[in-house]
Structure 1
Amino acid sequence: MSTETIRTIIVDDEPNSRDELRFLLGSFSGVHVIEEAGSAEKALELIVRHEPDLVFLDIEMPGMSGMDLAASLKKLKQIPLIVFATAYPDYAAKAFRVQALDYLLKPFDEEDLAETMNLVKARLREKNENSETRISQGRTGRLPVDDHGRIVYVVPEDISYFYREERETVICTPAREYRSKMPMKDLEDKLKPYRFFRTHKSYMVNLDHVAELIPWMNGAYQVKVEGRSEEIPVSRNYVKALREQLEL
C-alpha cells in the first residue's frame, strides 16, 4: 500500500449505493476508488487484477454473495481489508468470522464511515510497519519444507498453525499439511517476526488466522482457525495472554 493512497474497490449490485459511497469517500484524503463492481464475480476479477488495499462489500447480491467472496479472498497472497456495507444487520457475526475489519449499515452515516476509515488507516499503517520490520530483519523469504523429496516454499503468513507430533513438526495451512524434521523451537525462532502465539506446549497458532475461541473444560479453551475444521487446544495458562493479543 502506498502511504499516501488507499486503493479502494466498491462492490454493490445497486448503482445508487455505489454512487453514494463513492461520494462520501471523496471527503477523505488519500482514498482513491479505482474500480466498482455490480457483482461478486466481477469484483473477484478486479481484486485479483488490481490488488487493492480496501474493499467495501455488499452482502446480498445476485449470484455469489459478498460473504462467499470474502471467504474466497483468504486464498489470495495480497488480501485486502474488507468492510461490509449492507442494509442487513443480521450478518454482523458472520462478517467477523471471515475477518472483516468493519461492518457499515445503509443508509451510510458519515460519523460511522469516519470511524471506519480511521480503523482502515490504522490497520494499513500497522501492516506497513510489520512489512518494514521484516525487511529490515531480512525475513522476507519463504519457509523451505521437504515434501516427498521436493523442497516446497511456504509463505509464513499462509501457515495457520503448527504443532509437534512425535519426532516431526506438522505445519498446517488452509490447503494442506507439511511434515518437517525441524524442531518446533527452531521453527518458532524462524517465525518470530510473524504473529504466531503459543497456545499449548506443543502448538503455535497464527493470530491472523484465528476465527473462534471456544470454552472447553477446567478453564482451558480451544481455537478454530480459518480454513481448518479441527480445534486447537489452548492451555488455561495461555488463555489470558491470547485474549489480550486478539481483542481490542
Structure 2
Amino acid sequence: MTIQQIQTLIVDDEKYSREELIFLLDSYPEITIVGQASTGQEAVAKIMELKPDLLFLDIEMPGMTGTEVASVLKEMQTPPIVIFATAYPQFAIEAFQVQAKGYLLKPVDEKQLAETIQHIKALINMTQTQENPESTNGKLALEAEGTIQFLEPKKVLYVYRDDKNTKVVTSEQLFETKLTLKELEARLTSFSFFRVHKSYLVNTHYITEMDAWFNGAYQLSIAGTEEKIPVSRNYVKPLRAKIEL
C-alpha cells in the first residue's frame, strides 16, 4: 500500500450517509473506496476479505455496533485505521477506548474531514517509517539567509506558526523557516511529532504535563522550555491515545 492509495471501507446502516461520505471522499485522490457495508457483521466479513487500510465506521447500528466491530478488529495482526462517523458525540470516549484514530460527527464537516485525512496520512507515513527504520536517519534542513542549517529532529521540542513564518524550537535555539506547518508535519511525524493545535506540532517525547485550560482545551508543559503549548479540544483524546500506555 502506498500513501497515494488508501484502501477504504465505508460502514453505515444508512445508505444516504454512506453516499454522502463517499461523495466527500471523492475529493481526495489518495482515498480508494473498495467497498461498503450496512451492518457490523457484514463489515467484519468484508474487512477479512478486502483487508482495507482505512475504515469509516458508524457506531449506532442494529445488531452489531461499531464499537463491537472495532473490538473484534483489535485482535487482527494488521487492523485497519478506524475513524468513527456518528451523529452521537457522547460516544467519543468509548470510541477511543477501542483504539479509534479519529471521530467525525454527522453531518460530516468538510474542514474536519480534511484534518482527519491529513492525520490518517501522517499515521500511515509513521507506520511505513517504523517498518523501514533506516529512513529516520535524515536531518531537518532549514534554509535561512542563504544558508542551510541541518537539525536533528530529536532535538526539536515543538514547532509553531507565527504569522507568515514557522518557528522551530529547541532547548537551546529558535529557528525560522519558510516551510509550512503542514510540510513540517509530513516530515516529522515519524519522529514522534504530533499536531496538537492548528498552529502547533509537539515532540511527544518532551511532554511532561497536560493541564485543563478552558472549553475542553488543555495546555502542555514541555521539558526544556517554560512555554505552555495549547491543545485544541479536538486533539486532546487522539493525543492521549498516542502517548499513554
Q: TM-score, normalised by structure 1?
A: 0.54
Alignment of 1:1-248 (within 5 A): 1-133=1-133, 246=243
TM-superposed deviation, 1:82: 0.3
User: SS at the partner of 1:123?
Assistant: helix
Instruction: Letter of the 1:84 partner, please give it.
Output: F
Q: Distance in 2 between matches of 1:74 and 1:19?
A: 27
Q: Distance in 2 between matches of 1:105 and 1:115?
A: 13
TM-superposed deviation, 1:132: 1.6
Q: Once the two structures are superposed, what CA deviation does each residue of 1:157-194 show, in whole Å capped at 9, x if it has no partner? A: xxxxxxxxxxxxxxxxxxxxxxxxxxxxxxxxxxxxxx
Change (3 A) 1:65 1:134: farther
TM-superposed deviation, 1:66: 0.2
Q: Distance in 2 between matches of 1:103 and 1:117?
A: 11
TM-superposed deviation, 1:245: 6.9
User: SS at the partner of 1:56?
Assistant: strand
Q: Which runs of 5+ in 1 are unaligned?
A: 137-194, 196-242
Q: Distance in 2 between matches of 1:245 and 1:7?
A: 23
Q: Distance in 1 between matches of 2:94 and 2:36?
A: 24
Are the equivalent residues in 1 in contact too, given 2:11–2:39 (CA < 8 A)?
Answer: yes
Change (3 A) 1:74 1:134: farther
Change (3 A) 1:134 1:13: farther
TM-superposed deviation, 1:116: 0.4
- Matched residues, percent identical? 44
User: SS at the partner of 1:85?
Assistant: strand
TM-superposed deviation, 1:3: 2.8
Change (3 A) 1:25 1:135: same
How many corresponding residue pairs? 142
Q: Which runs of 5+ in 2 are unaligned?
A: 137-191, 193-239
Superposition RMSD in Å: 2.2
